Amino acid sequence: KRAQLIMNLVRELASEGKAILMALHEVNLALSCTDRILFLQNGRLLEDTPSSEVSGDLLENVYGISWEIWQLGENGRRLVVPL
């Protein structure tokens, strides 16, 4: 519940034109609330991409395991699941 409250606040601030930079380790949360995602590996930038373009191949490259991506409805939301 608290995470949702924080994400709502973040969305509100972003809608006011404020830039938001967050460190998230939950991929689905990051995909649900960001326009862009930067992936770091060993302290170095590995990928900088729009959230809508995150693919299973990219996630496999970052995390070293296979991922499946499910489309949730028609609003563009996706759910990623490690395999």
Q: What is the pLDDT of residue 3?
A: 82
- pLDDT tens digits for range 29-70: 888 888 899 999 889 999 999 999 999 999 999 999 999 999
Local structure of residue 17 (DSSP, 8 states): T
Q: What stretch of H or E contains 61?
A: helix 56-63
Q: Is the pLDDT of residue 80 over 80?
A: yes
- Provide mean pLDDT across the span 3-13: 88
Closest CA to 32 of 71, 77, 75: 77
Q: What is the pLDDT of residue 74?
A: 78
